[in-house]
Amino acid sequence: MKPFFPLLLALLLSHSAAAQSLDPQDPGKPLGASWPTYNGDYSGRRFSQLSQITGANVRNLGLVWTMDLGKEPIKGTPLVVDGVIYSSVPDKAWALDARTGRLLWHWENKTRGGTHIGHRGVAVPGDA
């Protein structure tokens, strides 16, 4: 897994995951514990506005759960909406409960061969 994944998990566990939605008219609106787009929100900052974890207390964080998603590295940004982590690799996608790591669903495309030249991750519709 990518090195930032445990930190993302710790951030999620330190806040309640309330329903969040993106408002294109207010791209800087704080989203709480959600990360529903590649950039987190429409601002493009790729920076969480969560403040409960600081330089003074980060050493108290610990790993709560892990999940083996196979041998292919995750290259797309995992998304988080309403306490669910969505992640993917070519031809596979997962939804995981952010608190427990429990698999909610897994999708796999049975490929008939060929080479993947790229992968951009998952997307969540506006009404998710």
CA-to-CA distance for 8 and 78, rounded, in angstroms? 9
Confidence of residue 103 (pLDDT cuts 50, 70, 90): very high
pLDDT in the model for residue 57: 95
CA torsion 38→39→40→43, rounded to 10°?
Answer: -140
pTM higher than 0.85: no
pLDDT in the model for residue 16: 36
pLDDT in tens, 22-34: 666 666 666 677 8
pLDDT in the model for residue 6: 44
DSSP codes joined into one string, 40-58: SSTT--------SS-TTTG
> Minimal CA–CA distance to 16: which of 80, 105, 94, 86?
80
